[in-house]
Structure 1
Amino acid sequence: MDSGTRGFQLHHDRSNIGAIRWSADPLLGSWTGDSLYVWDKKSDGYYIVGPVKQVSTGKTVIDINTKGKTAPSEAKKTKNLKEGTKIKFRACVKKGSTNHGCTSWYSTKA
């Protein structure tokens, strides 16, 4: 993966429950921009939320989730950010409106 791509798996009780990945310009030479992907791998009523914040402004530029989708499911959102823009992202696990925990914020760039 290049320096603008980063992701990780989510585990609970030794079980892989989901994943999240930031891909800076995933298609070489493409104008489509940068993408955040979240996956929910378990049909258990929980869903995965993926926010992306621009570091310089603190503004949320992407906010996606797998709520209401039958697992295994994937959600993707693309936004064309200026090259080199510093961002941070994380994954949260929710059920209904209750947040059951979030990862730390991870830093990367567009």
Structure 2
Amino acid sequence: MKILHHPHRDDIHLTSVLHALSDPIRLSIIQEIAQHGEQSCSCFTAPVAKSTLSHHTRTLREAGVVFVRVQGTQHFVTIRQEDLEARFPGLLAAVLNGANTSGTGISPGNETGTTSPS
């Protein structure tokens, strides 16, 4: 079984976290986890291929934004809230609040994360 690398709290860098959260698909993954708690990778509703979703999850994990727990063939993803809050107080809440108020989430058929004018 492959061992997944999760950076130590002190090795989480702001530039990596911001890069990981800058993608609309990855941001929507974080929003889903924030709303529903730990999620299996197969439960995400991102409109991308499974391999692309794996890439996004790996990017979030390697940046230190999420923790991936392997149980059998399932991969369960949680946000590393305590670590992120310790390193960058208020950052995650600000990003999630900004994403929720600006409507930048992803919906099926809207892969770019842009919103349509009302």
Q: TM-score, normalised by structure 2?
A: 0.25
Higher relative contact order (CA 8 A, sep 6+): 2
Structure with the higher strand share, 1 or 2: 1
TM-score w.r.t. length of structure 1: 0.26
Structure number having the greater helix percentage = 2
